[in-house]
Each structure stands twice: as C-alpha cells, then as structure tokens.
Structure 1
Amino acid sequence: MTDYQNIPQQALGDHAARQLANATKTVPQLSTISPRWLVHMLQWLPVEAGIFRLNRVKNASNVQVACSQRDEAELPQTYVDYEQNPREYFLNAVTTVLDVHTRVSDLYSSPHDQIREQLRLTIETIKERQESELINNPEYGLLSNIDPTQRISTLTGAPTPDDLDELLTKVWKEPGFFLAHPLAIAAFGRECTRRGVPPPTVSLFGSQFLTWRGVPLVPSDKLPIVDGKTQILLLRVGEKRQGVVGLFQPGLAGEQSPGLSVRFMGISRNAIASYLISLYCSLAVLTEDAVAVLDDVEIDKYHDYPNTYK
C-alpha cells in the first residue's frame, strides 16, 4: 500500500506559470504632466501671420465729457487719441523633432502603438513648456509684463489675507483668478487657518480650488521659487474685459489642436522616421491693470526649498 502522505508534494510554481500569462500593460506614465490650469482659463485669440498688434488709447484722461444743463447750448468737444507706435506681439515656437526607428514601431506596437505614445508624451512635454513660457518668457511672459504700479510686496513674508486683499485693489475690475505655486497656496491656507478664517473652496473643471473673496487660487508649478520665495499673480482675462489673452496661429498644416501641429518629415537611410512637432503661442496683457503681482512671498519660513524654474 502506497503511503501518499510521505510523497513530496509538487506543483507548478508562480515563476513558471507567469510565462503563459498575459500582463496588462499601461501606457507610459509621465510624472511631469500637470493640469495646466492657466492654459485652460485663458481666452485664446487666433492671430493672422503670427503678428498681434495691441492698440491702446493715448492719454485716456484727456477724453472730456460733461453733463450739461438744460439751458446750455454749447456741447463739449473732444476726441480719442491712439498710441502712434503700438506694441506688436510675435508668436513664439516651442518645437522639437521626434525620431522613431521603424523597426521599433513595426515590431513592438502591440498592445500600444509606439509612434502614438512617443508623440503623446512629446506633445505633453511641449505643452508643459508652453505654460512655463506664458509665465516666465522674458519677452511676453506674465512676470515680465507687469506695470510697476501693479507690484506690491508682502507685509509679513508669508502670504496673508491682507496681501490678497491688496492685490484685489489692483485688479478690481472683474478679477478672474489668482495664480500661485502650490506651495504658496499652502502657505496662504496656513495663514488663513492661523487667523481663524479658513478659505472656502469652489469646484472648477471637476477639481476643488481654494478661494479668497470668491476668487479662486489656481496652482501652477511653473512659477519660480528662488531662495524660498515666490510670487502670486492676480489676473483679469478675456478680450471683452480688456484682460490677459493667449495668442495662437490657426490653420497650421498637420494641426492637432489650436496652435499645435505634427508633421511627418520622412524616413532616413538609417530607417529613422522623424516628426516635427511645433506649438506657436504668445500672450498679451491688453491693459496695465489686467494683472498684478505679490512679490517676496515666503512659502515656508521654517523650511528650505531648492530653487526651481521650469
């Protein structure tokens, strides 16, 4: 009689079994992708021939009107003068050339298409750079186009409700949103909590935002942090409101989205397929009081953060 209890038990192991199993694969995850709220919340204007001319009234206070009495026969005479040399904005390009070996795209495109994923990730990176340029570009970026009268500094270092109230006095005509680094928003939240006035939240685009006086605080990690300090912006947006507007070139060859094009450049003798990816954009502040900035914002006086600039 066989003693089965003494026979060593053997079974297929996990490692060998996995050789017959199909793994569920994700598309590549790119940690640098952000919501890019600034791009979403701007009004975008199409630009002809890549040039946007901003005409402004010259000496607005010289436009004279009067409320006349019934028995007065004379009417005031006036005219509206324009700046003779208006500023012109030229669209800037964020571009790159993507190379994909045809052998890779031919053999390794299941379940995920290699060319599609390479293009997707490259386009996401270009769009991240676009938002950074809208804030930091030395020619047309927000931080480089703030009128000196629209700049204030924090009272205590950390951003307080009083500081944001002061910003609201600078952009009081239909303010759209504050724009700040996430760490600056966290610092403001701490100050509000410390004072016993926790800021309410509002839902936009399916996400929750802190607000102050009903104006949302929109985060962007593209605002620079230098020596533990950053800036908070307040914007009015839209052409009708004489605010901040984005500019793009419509009707591009190979257009994928407004201002963004992807064009196939051919295959080299080394079997490398190349794609030109271009994004044309700029930004204009239509009137001086459309944007203001709070300078020298300490994100956390008790911690040191590395300098950042994206």
Structure 2
Amino acid sequence: MESNSTLTHPQGIAFQLRFMDYNSTVVNPTNLIYDSNATNINTTALLIPLTTISDGNFTKETAGALYTISRFNYDRNVTQPRNPFETSFKELNIECLNAADCLMQANLSAAYEPKGERAMDFNVTYAYGRIVPRDVRVFGNVGFTANAWYEVFNAPILAGAGLAPSRTPQWFINARHNDNNDGDGNITRIQNNSNATVTTVNMGSAEVNGIETYTFGAIAPTYSGKAHINADPWLWFGTNALDYSDPSNANLDCRTHPCFNINVVPNIGTAGSSTNTQTLGSDKANKATSGTGVTYDYTPATR
C-alpha cells in the first residue's frame, strides 16, 4: 500500500511525503486510517495533508529542517475489541508534487529533479485500549479519590514489557500508558441525581502505572451523582456503547462516553457493606479502608 502527504514550500512549491511499502499482518489492511488533528482520512484516498513548511525551517539557502508528527490509527469498533496487530513502515520518500516546479540545472542540463528518501524499517504494534472507571461509595463526610484504569485487550506483553491483568478477563492494565501520547480521560461534568444539577469541572491527574486518579473534596451525605469523563475516542469501549461523543450539558448519555457513579452515605464504621449488580464481565467488588476508617467500595461502573 502506498500513501502520501502534501507539503508546501514557503515560496509556494508543493512537495510530497510518501510512505512506501506499507505492509501489515492485518487480514483486512484497509481498516487502517490516518489520524491528524482529529481528522480521519482513509489511506485509500492516498493524499494525507500534513503541514506547511515555514521559512524558519530553512536555515540555509539550500538546506532546511522539518519536524512534524504523523499519527496512524485503525478504524475501531467501540463494542468489539480486537487482538493486537503489527504494521511495518519501510521507506520515506520526499519529492516535488509537480516535478516541473522543482527542476534544477547541473552539468549544463536543467532536467534535474531533487528527491529525498530514507529507509524507515520499523514496526508499530497496535493494541485495542480503553479507560475503565469504577463506581465509588463513600461512607462519611470526607474527601475521597476515585480511579480509572487504562487497559489494553489481550496484550499481556506490550513493547517488550509485561502487563498486570485487570479484573476483567483478557484485559491488562497498561502501565506504559502516557496521557500525552496515548490519550487522556478527565471528568468534565458531574450530575447530581437528586436535582439533575450539572456541574462543569476539569478533574484528572497525570496517570501513574496506568491509573488515573480523581480527587474530590468532602460531600455531605446523602448524595448520589454521576461523573462523566471526556476521553480520547480511541479509549472508549462498552458492550452496549454508541459512537463516542464528549460529555456536555446537552449530552449526559453514558452510552457515548465513560461514566461512573458516586454515592455518599452516613459513616457506618469500618465494617461497611457492599452489594453489587454486575453489569459488565464478572468483576467482584473491591473494598478498601482509608486511614480515617471510612470505607470505599469500588464496583464496576455502568458503561
């Protein structure tokens, strides 16, 4: 497969960036798409716009430098995870989109066209990922934290590193996850179930070992609410999920983005109680006791 990209010289001459010999072990490689600035372009269209080269990139009259980021992703089904797969990149060619615009004279001939090429020869492993928040129940009027896990499907080893299993079979906690490179999930709306009040927030933290932490102040019992997470679309998964859409005052549908429930009840001591209706998988409730003797119950979030 071959795909290319249009670059523009500051003097108006167009260049072409071309990925050659795009091979993949995927049964149907046509599901690979190009992703740049949230715009998806199927590689079958061949043209991939990247960027305009500014004058500052040309440090000399005949030499320059260009730094740009190109991201490839695959056409992802939000309800059906897939096994990891690998793609390989072999060669990078740069040449003028219109050869006549770039001809140079040498050896008394004006028919020389400048071209550049470089062997790439590297592989990229794609793993199906998700962000998984879990419901939290708090006993007492105290500050608390809630968590979400970044996980990958059927990838016990990723980029040479072993990953710990999650609470759900075939899913593994992606301790290699990086918010800047791999996507982020922050709470942007909190909905009070009793009076339907929606509060706009921006809550999240840098991930640690594949875990996102959300820190809440004390909430007086009795309280019931739902937190809505704004995540990158490639982190969205649910067995009954719809296409991803950011949470907003007009979109509080947890079939379109990750959500978790928050319940605050009067403190009943450290013994606590836990009941759980399983909505996904076979997860079991995980109870933890804070240093203040208040019990938190983490149960599978409804997605």
Settle same-fold status: TM greater than 0.5: no
Going by fraction, where is strand more abundant, 1 or 2? 2
Give the TM-score band, short-chain normalised: under 0.3
TM-score scaled to structure 2, two decimals?
Answer: 0.23
TM-score scaled to structure 1, two decimals?
Answer: 0.23
